[in-house]
Chain A
Amino acid sequence: MLEQLLMAFINGILLGGVLALLAFGLNLIFGVVKIIHMAYGQFVMLGFYFIYYFYTAWHLPLLVAMAGGIIVMGLLGMLVQLLIINPLLDAPRLNQLLALASLIIVLENLAQVVWGADYRGIPISMPIIQFGDIFIRSSYLLAFLGAIATLGILYLFLHKTYFGLAIRSVAQDVEMARGMGINPKVIYYITLAAGGALTGVVAAFFIPIYTVHPHFGASFTLMAFVIVVFGGMGNLLGGFISAFIIGVVTSITAVLASTEVADILALVMFILMMMVRPQGILGAKA
């Protein structure tokens, strides 16, 4: 039993890495543009399809296909900014939410028209990492390392570059940033591009784990949303920590009870957090 719990703990840490990776883009976009990207999971789905397409139809090497997918998703992020977010920047919150929610339907149906309703996957045989009776899942380990690397790169980008500084200033106070000569719209474009590219990164790390279909994204949006709100909306580090908490708690609960109970517990924790500390773990009080 102890060994099983240890395995579940390791597994939870790795799962936390996967979840953290998932939540970065949503968090970044909310932090800067103050918009909830309802179609975030669908973006992950599209990223998955693009990588699949580049790999199978154009026969590109997998890593090149992944890079291609990340670039395309970045461009698509900018397109969303241009076509949907820009016209609604000063519109009521509800209008923004509804517009992005309808994007879900557009993207899912688009994927269905282009790639059909079939499940698609790239069969990759990941190496097996084993220490005695302890098995470490290499696909999750990779995503975990990816999450840490991504957090590091995001940190460097936000803190060591001019654009990063501009993004943070817009996130803190749009009017003041404008006064300092920063054009918030340009910053929004960069943020959405980064958010889009991050969905491409998520998709790349998900390739060895999942198969994709047009409705693949929906549950990821919910999961990412829970993590982001739990950690404090717009706070990258908070999201990172909350992903690990949720990963470990669900993983251990699933072993002690069942996966169904674990899913319930994750949402109960979320509701409790909303009641006790609505701003999330590291969020600032509004």
Chain B
Amino acid sequence: MRKTIALLAVLAVLAMGLAAPAAAQDKDFKLGVLFSLTGPFAPAGALAGYRGTMVAVDMINARGGIAGKYKVVPVVADAQSNPDVAIREGQRLMTVEKVPVVLGVFSSGIAVPLAPMADRNKKIFWVIIAISDKVVKDRNLKYVFRVQPMGSQWGQSTVKLLNDNFAKFGVKKVQDLKVAIIHEDGPYGSSVSKANKAMAEKYGMKVVLNEAYSHKTKDMSSLILKLKSAKPDAILHTGYFPDVVLFFRQARELGLRTKAIEGHGAGHANMPKLAEAAGGDLMNYCFNVDPAPAQMLDRKKLAPGTGELIGEFLKRYDEKFKVSNPPTHATQGFGHTWILLNDVAPLALKKYGDLSPESIRKASLEIDIPEGGTPCGYGVKFAQPGTALSGQNLRSYPVVVQSINGKLGIAWPAGLQTLSPVIPLPADSPFAEK
């Protein structure tokens, strides 16, 4: 007993000894990290985003912290895939933990309500995965910054790919192309599908079906029956993981036939995982829009040093999480956190003398990174306050990739192409027209 007490006393003294310098350390930068670490959004990409962020934090700290001086101390909160919890946790990070920056959020359903709250509290909300236009559009927020492209860009990219390749569908003019749009009914699916429709109508394509469903649905067969009778040349699908798998499986059993299937991130983002769960033949030749995962970028086209940075990120990610081919969300988590800690924060320190939300806000508005200068490939220039997209990075864009026999290549835009898109679906696809 006496021994135990002595041991506890020693431990207590040690703990105090360890805690004291940390508490005295005023050169810590508390970074609020908010992701859905549990619940359905976690496996869909929130967890990968979180992991990417943590690798960026590790790498900055290994280099002596922000500008070699400020150690980054992440304060992690779990949004639990639930907007109510997310708002409570976001509020706690801003007001109780008093972090200058809250970073993260996978789901647009969480980012949309959280963004104005950050503005009210005058704390930076650094949005790094959620893509719905509504997060920033027409809100004139001053403390919210989003590095990744917007949902409408997703919806436009797939239709542009169809427009560029319409001849492959065997139609004489693009106006003869029949497209069907199906999407989950949350802010993410709605904003992507709206852009799908606007873009398709702009090109004069025929939208033969446009229908929403709940991503929690347990049966999609009625929707598939409607698709069958609409006979679209291309299906534009926006959904989360379980509903995308359900769609592929049920569509096969119900004999759906078409010429191209295009996904829009989230459920389609992790193609290897999708192939594992749904069966590889089902999603073979499927397209997906997302910012390119770092490992797919042509490193020769990037700014000097960026390729090495990506190499270190991939190595550390693999070592820490045993994933050698991380999904795009990991790249976004890493790259967008890296931009904050490596570019924006040092500028705030240098020019405005501290890491307060106000200084970071001003530095963000001034940051100017050209194309190829970040681990995500694209550059960074935020829209200024007073404009429609205030806080949105105007230089980011997604690419359309196609999965062919387990390999991914960039099919659009033409400038970044690493493969020529395979259209129509070849005979070895279960959805190929016979």
- Using a CB–CB cutoff of 8 Å, the interface residues on chain A facing chain B are 1, 4, 7-8, 11, 15, 109, 112, 116-121, 123-126, 128, 130, 135, 137-140, 208-211, 213-216, 219-220, 223, 250-251, 254-255, 258-260, 262-263
A4:B225 contact, CB within 8 angstroms: yes
Number of B positions contacting A (CB below 8 A): 42
B273 touches A (CB below 8 Å): yes
B246 touches A (CB below 8 Å): yes
- What does the 1/0 interface line of B205-231 toward A look like (CB < 8 Å)? 000000111101111111101100100
- Using a CB–CB cutoff of 8 Å, the interface residues on chain B facing chain A are 37-40, 42-44, 47, 81, 185, 211-214, 216-223, 225-226, 229, 241-242, 245-246, 249-250, 252-255, 273, 276-281
B277:A119 contact, CB within 8 angstroms: yes
A255:B225 contact, CB within 8 angstroms: yes
Closest residue of A by beta carbon distance from B279: A123
A119:B253 contact, CB within 8 angstroms: no
Measured between beta carbons, the chain B residues less than 8 angstroms from A215 are 39-40, 81
Closest residue of B by beta carbon distance from A220: B218
B254:A137 contact, CB within 8 angstroms: yes
Tally of contacts, chain A with chain B, CB under 8 A: 114
Select one of B217, B242, B249 contacting A119, CB under 8 A. Answer: B242
Say what secondary structure dominates the interface of chain B: helix
Select one of B42, B226, B246, B280 contacting A255, CB under 8 A. Answer: B226
B223:A254 contact, CB within 8 angstroms: yes
Q: Within the assembled complex, what's the spacing in Å between the Cα atoms of A259 and B225?
A: 12
Most chain A CB atoms below 10 A, which of B39, B252, B277: B277
Cβ contacts A to B, 16 pairs, < 8 Å: A4-B225, A15-B219, A15-B221, A117-B37, A121-B245, A123-B276, A123-B277, A125-B279, A128-B255, A135-B255, A210-B246, A251-B219, A254-B222, A254-B223, A258-B212, A260-B212
A213:B40 contact, CB within 8 angstroms: yes
Select one of B42, B220, B229, B249 contacting A117, CB under 8 A. Answer: B42
Measured between beta carbons, the chain B residues less than 8 angstroms from A139 are 249, 253
Given known A-B contacts A117-B42, A121-B245, A137-B253, A219 and B218 have beta carbons under 8 A apart: yes
Select one of B43, B252, B276, B279 contacting A213, CB under 8 A. Answer: B43
Measured between beta carbons, the chain A residues less than 8 angstroms from B217 are 259, 263
Chain A nearest Cβ from B386, distance in angstroms: 38
Q: Within the assembled complex, what's the spacing in Å between the Cα atoms of A140 and B253?
A: 10
Q: Within the assembled complex, what's the spacing in Å between the Cα atoms of A257 and B219?
A: 15
A260:B185 contact, CB within 8 angstroms: yes
B222:A8 contact, CB within 8 angstroms: yes
B221:A210 contact, CB within 8 angstroms: no
Q: Within the assembled complex, what's the spacing in Å between the Cα atoms of A17 and B278?
A: 23
> 7 closest pairs, A vs B, by CB?
A254-B222, A117-B42, A123-B279, A121-B277, A137-B253, A135-B255, A118-B43
Closest residue of A by beta carbon distance from B252: A128
Closest residue of B by beta carbon distance from A120: B277
Measured between beta carbons, the chain A residues less than 8 angstroms from B225 are 4, 7-8, 11, 255
Chain A nearest Cβ from B333, distance in angstroms: 15
Q: Within the assembled complex, what's the spacing in Å between the Cα atoms of A130 and B214?
A: 28
Given known A-B contacts A215-B40, A259-B217, A137 and B246 have beta carbons under 8 A apart: no
